[in-house]
Each structure stands twice: as C-alpha cells, then as structure tokens.
Amino acid sequence: MLRREARLRREYLYRKAREEAQRAASERKEKVRRALEENHLIPTELRREALALHGSLEFDDAGGEGVTNHVDDEYRWAGVEDPKVMITTSRDPSSRLKMFAKELKLVFPGAQRMNRGRHEVGALVRACKVNGVTDLLVIHEHRGTPVGLIVSHLPFGPTAYFTLCNVLMRHDIPDLGTVSEAKPHLIIHGFSSRLGKRVSDVLRYLFPVPKEDSHRVITFANQNDYISFRHHVYRKTNHRNVELTECT
C-alpha cells in the first residue's frame, strides 16, 4: 500500500512538473507570436531561440484550451460520484467545538463526524484514503471559539486553510427549527480571479449535485478576500414571489 501511494505521488508530481514546463514554453511562444504580429522587437531573452519558437508555432493547436491538467485530475469524479466528507477537530476539543462540528456535519449532505482522540494527522489521512474519503475537514479553536478550518482534498490535494470569524451557531439562537438535509443549490459569487476559481472549486466540490426540486440554497460570497457564508431555504408564495428563510 505504501509503495503504491509513493508511486502515485511520484507520477502526480512528474505530471505537474511537465505541465509547468509546457506552460512556460507556451508563454515564450506567445510572446514571439505577439511581437511578430504587432511588428515589435522580440524580447531580448527570447532572441536566441526565436527561430525555433517561431517554427514550432505552426504545429500548435489553437483549440487546445480543453486539454486536461493535474487540476482537472483532482476533481475528475466531481458530479459523477457524491463526495465523501469526513469532519474532525483538533485534539482535546471543547464542548463548544464538538457542538460546532455537529452543526457543520448538517451543512454537507452525507458527511460523517469522527472523534479525533489521540490520532495524528498522518494516521487520519491514511485511514480516510483507505475508506474512500474524498475530503477531510479539520476544525481548530481558540478558547472554545472556532477560529480555523482546514479542507484537504484526498489523495493529493489541494489543501486550503480558512480563518473563521463571527461564527454564530444554531445552539446560540433560541427556538430555532430543524435544518433541511436536502442536497443544496450553490451560489458562488465574487471568485473571478485564477485563485478565486481555485478556492471556489475547493468549496463547491464538497457538495453533491442537487435535485432540481431542492429548496435549500447555500451561498459563498467573496468580497475583499472575506467569504461570507449564508444558508437559506425558500418556498414559492406564488408564481412571481419567493420567500427566503435563513438557516444558521
């Protein structure tokens, strides 16, 4: 098992290195092509290899934007199989952090919660891989307040760390009803940059594909690198109006 994981890891890193070299070569060819089309001087650092780069431009495929890369490989089963999310906490969690983990489990349909105990992170990751877990979520706290969330996609990443602030839990709100556990529709707003699209992939692939008649909506809205989380259910009051109810 360990040899197989090491081999897969080497193959993954080799593909990433090849893709990086190909991307750098493509950027150099694009600079030469643009300089020739606009009748400008070729950049100094490219003059020695300009003839070779210009010759290889003839064989480039203009429709190659859809070629897959290691980023596509990370989520190649997204939408085909439902994600299997595992939620755990830092060591010796407070009662409030355990409560937050239970509430977070309700956000992700089909998620499971695991008591951390004395297990190390490496042992948790190996156990998750063996059991087909696609994403591991680890919650951290400071004096009973949740302050951090690690989202790690298995087996090779990506891994993202999110700082949590202004956390309001369902237990803090009196007379709050039950929460819908239907597969939610997602609203992803403000993730237009290259990094933003990467972060949005990390978040949206934690959720399975919803049914068309699902009345549950989860929103991730990015503004100035602060991601606001909103959770609603809706019902149609008539053919023109919709009534929203926020779920914490």
Domain boundary among 128, 147, 172: 172
For residue 76, being part of any structural domain is answered with: no
pLDDT of residue 199: 93
For residue 80, being part of any structural domain is answered with: no
Integer CA distances (angstroms), 237 to 82, 86, 234, 241, 246, in order: 32, 37, 9, 6, 16
Domain boundary among 149, 172, 195: 172
- Is the domain of 60 the same as that of 103? no
β-pair type (159-163, 145-153): antiparallel
Task: Give helix then strand counts, H and E, for the chain.
Answer: 6, 9
pLDDT of residue 80: 85
- Is the domain of 61 the same as that of 99? no
For tokens 């493509």, the residue is 26
The range of the structural domain enclosing residue 145 comes to 85-172
Which run of H or of E encompasses 26?
helix 2-37
- Is the domain of 223 the same as that of 164? no
pLDDT of residue 92: 92
> Residue 145's closest CA among 176, 88, 102, 100?
100
- Is the domain of 159 the same as that of 208? no
Q: How many domains does the chain have?
A: 3
For residue 17, being part of any structural domain is answered with: yes
pLDDT of residue 10: 84
List per-residue pLDDT tens for the chain, 248 residues long: 678 777 877 887 888 788 788 778 888 888 888 887 888 888 877 777 777 776 776 666 555 544 456 565 678 778 888 999 999 999 999 999 999 999 999 999 999 999 988 889 889 998 998 899 999 999 999 988 999 999 999 988 899 999 999 988 887 777 777 788 899 999 999 999 989 998 999 999 999 999 998 999 999 999 999 999 999 988 888 888 888 888 86
Whole-angstrom distance, CA of residue 140 vs CA of residue 87: 11
Whole-angstrom distance, CA of residue 43 vs CA of residue 34: 11
Q: pTM here?
A: 0.75
Give yes or no for a contact between 246 and 179, defined as CB atoms under 8 angstroms apart.
no
If one counts every other C-beta atom within 10 angstroms of the C-beta of residue 28, the result is 16
Integer CA distances (angstroms), 65 to 7, 23, 69, in order: 29, 12, 11
pLDDT of residue 66: 44
Whole-angstrom distance, CA of residue 226 vs CA of residue 232: 20
Give yes or no for a contact between 84 and 134, defined as CB atoms under 8 angstroms apart.
yes
pLDDT of residue 153: 93
